[in-house]
Amino acid sequence: MPTNSTPCVLALGDSLTAGYGLPTRASFAAKLEQALRNRHPGATVHNAGVSGDTTADALRRLPRVLSGLACKPDLAIVELGANDLLRGVAPARTRANLADILGTLTSCGIATFLTSFEVPPFLRAHAPSYDGMYADLTARHGADHAPFFPPGVMGHPRLTLPDGLHPNARAIELVVAHLLPAIISALGRQPAPLT
Q: How far apart are CA 11 and CA 1, in angstroms?
A: 19
Which residues in 21-52 are b (16+ Cβ under 10 Å) and which e?
Answer: bbeeebbbbbbbbebbeeebeebbbbbbbbee
Q: Residue 181 burial (CB < 10 Å; 0-12/13-18/19+)?
A: exposed
Element spanning 18, H or E: helix 15-18
Q: Could you give the residue numbers annotated as active site?
A: 15, 163, 166
